Amino acid sequence: MDPPQTVPSSPRKKRPRQVGASMASPAHNIKFRELVLFILEKKMGTTRRTFLMELARRKGFRVENELSDSVTHIVAENNSGSEVLEWLQAQKIRASSQLTLLDVSWLIESMGAGKPVEMTGKHQLVVRTDCSASPSPGSQNTLPPAVKKISQYACQRRTTLNNCNHIFTDAFEVLAENYEFRENETFCLAFMRAASVLKSLPFTIISMKDTEGIPCLGDKVKCVIEEIIEDGESSEVKAVLNDERYQSFKLFTSVFGVGLKTSERWFRMGFRSLSKIRSDKTLKFTRMQKAGFLYYEDLVSCVTRAEAEAVGVLVKEAVQAFLPDAFVTMTGGFRRGKKMGHDVDFLITSPGSTDDEEQQLLPKVVNLWEREGLLLYCDLVESTLEKSKLPSRNVDALDHFQKCFLILKLHHQRVDSGMSSQQEGKTWKAIRVDLVMCPYELRAFALLGWTGSRQFERDLRRYATHERKMILDNHALYDKTKRIFLKAESEEEIFAHLGLDYLEPWERNA
Ligand code: DCT
Ligand code: MG
């Protein structure tokens, strides 16, 4: 069950500002050379100007510290065109006809889009001849309308990989992970939900005002946002990253087969490094952990898309050698468009096969790889699917399909025709692969479940339960009001049953 959503509030602490500390910015790559920006401090303030300048530079914009002849665009906030002109005249600088005056909303939208957006009327500051300083339409700094309707459920938000709030979501993910390591489920979930909602925003948060109307941001979360806006970093995140327990758990859980319980034990025994653990004669390792240590370097280096595609070919060849009509679909992060993953996930289903043929497929495939010397590790889990007991009420449970968790040997020559990087001597890389076999009539549910992201799946189930009185899992959708299972041939049909707008896989990166 999901823990309660509310986050106990902690007092909002106010710390002295350290603007100067973040001034020394590293050199940034300028991506958009045709624009030279100057951000006006008047009515904006030093802190916000510094923050915006730093952010814009990080996004590839050229931003000048001083107003000079090279400047092509002036960005202002809460200033009318006439006010900017007045300021320019006071600097003894004549506004040339080439100089464009823009409202800050243009810069914010551009940073969100990762490139300069088109300058429309709402962005341009108009200079009025009567000099009556009425605010221009764009300068009211109101939130985009979409912000007011953001859902608390990830399945009602489109979340692509274009995250314009990395600076915040990276921080939240560290904190969520630390709470997970400390088994504080409530705070862990609070920070995961906060990260998820910020990933869906089409703009970058640059002031606390931007957080108005956004769900899932409790006081504890807002405290972190505020600190990052003011100081460029969170003291809590900094403390966590330097924390011995966090560092050790992070290291230990990076080994395939090592979870929280084992990490806790090793930490309590005083271990802090993997080499000490590996060489300890008194420790007993599971088969999974032995494989985890054996192929550690390959497994932590992550799987590239090219490698995932090459594994896909390998899987298809093997599967279709035994069941020619079988469908093999890459699921997980790669189906959502990710360029890297910790493993490669596949869903296999076959319309024409009997229950027996279905049950025999994975063992046959695994045997084939074993004979070919490609199988480095295999854990085959038999199906526990009992159609009478569906659906399961345990929202985070693994499903009942037959599946295998593997480590396969992928030869470099199968990737990009051997162009990928090679370690000296070694001609292959160990890759984590998950195969799931599902009955053909359940394929839409299995595909939806195995595509993820995990946060998206959690919210989809929570939404079904709380908003539709339905139970969804990787096998079925049950309508509690009508007391029937709802059938579906495609993911689109499942979304429709739930009364949701369809989201493409690449919009599920919650
Ligand atoms: N999944 C699930 N329940 C689980 C495990 C997985 O619903 N207990 C779903 C969610 C995502 C998908 O299966 C694949 O899982 P992972 O491989 O762990 O995640 P990923 O999104 O593919 O990310 P990564 O790039 O780390 O593999
Ligand atoms: Mg995966």
Tokens coding 122: 């709402």
Q: Does the Cβ of 505 fall within 6 Å of ligand 1? A: no
Q: Does residue 86 surpass a pLDDT of 50?
A: yes
Same domain, 436 and 316: yes
Q: How far is the CA of 447 from the centre of ligand 2 (A)?
A: 13
Among 294, 327, 356, where does a domain finish? 294
Higher pLDDT, 463 or 95: 463
Residue 266, pLDDT score: 98
pTM of the predicted protein model: 0.74
Q: Which ligand places an atom closest to the C-alpha of 341?
A: 1
Give residue-wise pLDDT tens across range 89-125.
Answer: 777 766 555 678 899 999 999 999 999 998 876 787 7
Ligand 1 in reach of 453 Cβ (< 6 A): yes
Q: By alpha-carbon position, which residue is closest to atom 1 of ligand 1?
A: 450
The preferred substitution site among 254, 304, 381, 454 for testing ligand 1, maximizing ligand atoms within 8 Å of CB, is 454
pLDDT at position 397 is 57
Residue 510 near residue 453 (C-beta atoms within 8 A): yes
Write out the E strands in 292-445: 303-304, 327-330, 340-341, 344-349, 375-381, 402-411, 428-437
- The model's pLDDT over 135-157, given as tens digits with 9 standing for 90+, comes to 333 333 333 332 237 999 999 99
Q: How far apart are CA 490 and CA 442, in angstroms?
A: 9
243 is catalytic: no
- Asked if 341 and 329 sit in the same domain, the reply is yes
Whichever domain contains 174, its CATH number is 1.10.150.110
Residue 362 lies in a domain: yes
Q: What pLDDT does residue 228 have?
A: 97
Mean pLDDT to the nearest integer, 304-314: 97
**How high is the pLDDT of residue 82?**
77
The stretch 462-477 carries a mean pLDDT of 95
Cross-strand pairs, 406: 378, 433
**Euclidean distance between CA atoms 74 and 160, whole angstroms:** 31
Nearest ligand to the C-alpha atom of residue 305: 1
Contact criterion met (CB below 8 Å) for 404 and 375? no
Annotated catalytic residue within 343, 399, 459, 473: 343
pLDDT of the residue at 95:
56
Q: Is residue 7 domain-resident?
A: no
Number of compact structural domains in the chain: 5
Q: Report percent pLDDT > 70 for the chain.
A: 85
398 lines ligand 1 (CB under 6 A): yes
* pLDDT over 60 (residue 291): yes
CA dihedral of 278, 284, 286, 292, whole degrees rounded to 10: 0
Q: Is residue 363 part of a domain?
A: yes
Is 12 contained in some domain? no
343 is annotated as an active-site residue: yes
Whether 397 is in the pocket of ligand 1, judged by its Cβ within 6 Å, is: no
Domain at 252, CATH number? 1.10.150.20
Q: Indicate the average pLDDT of the chain.
A: 88
Residue 444 and residue 446: Cα distance in Å, rounded?
A: 6
For residue 397, what is the enclosing H or E element?
A: none
| Stronger pLDDT, 397 or 428, i.e. the higher one | 428
Residue 376's φ and ψ, nearest 5 degrees, are -95, -30
The reported pLDDT for the residue numbered 131 is 29
Q: Which of 91, 110, 141 is the last residue of a domain?
A: 141
Residues 122 and 187 in one domain: no
Q: How high is the pLDDT of residue 393?
A: 56
- Both 337 and 393 in one domain: the answer is yes
Question: Residue 275 has what DSSP assignment?
Answer: H
* Numbered residues of the known binding site for Mg(2+): 343, 345, 434
Scan for tokens 């969520």, then name that residue. Answer: 176
pLDDT at residue 23, as a whole number: 43
> Do 464 and 370 belong to one domain?
no
Higher pLDDT, 25 or 492: 492
pLDDT digits (tens, 9 = 90+) for 35-61: 999 999 999 989 899 999 999 999 999
DSSP label of 124? B
Comparison of pLDDT for 102 and 493, the residue scoring more: 493
Average the pLDDT over 271-288 and give the result: 97
Classify residue 392: in a domain, yes or no: yes
| Residue 270 burial class via C-beta count within 10 angstroms: exposed 0-12, middle 13-18, buried 19 and up | exposed
308 with 431, same domain: the answer is: yes
Structural domain boundaries, residue 231 = 154-241
Averaged pLDDT for residues 247-254: 98
391 pLDDT band, cuts 50/70/90, is: low
Q: Residue 441 in contact with residue 493, Cβ under 8 Å?
A: no
Q: Are 391 and 478 in contact (CB under 8 A)?
A: yes
Which is the closest atom of ligand 1 to the Cα of 454?
Answer: 10
Annotated catalytic residue: which of 170, 243, 434, 479? 434
Ligand 1 centroid – CA 397 distance (Å): 12
So what's the pLDDT on residue 8? 37
Beta 73-76 vs 32-39: how paired, if at all? parallel
Residue 124, pLDDT score:
76
**Same domain? 366 vs 306:** yes
Same domain, 263 and 385: no
Q: Considering only 120-134, 158-172, 413-427, 495-509, which range has the smallest mean pLDDT? A: 120-134
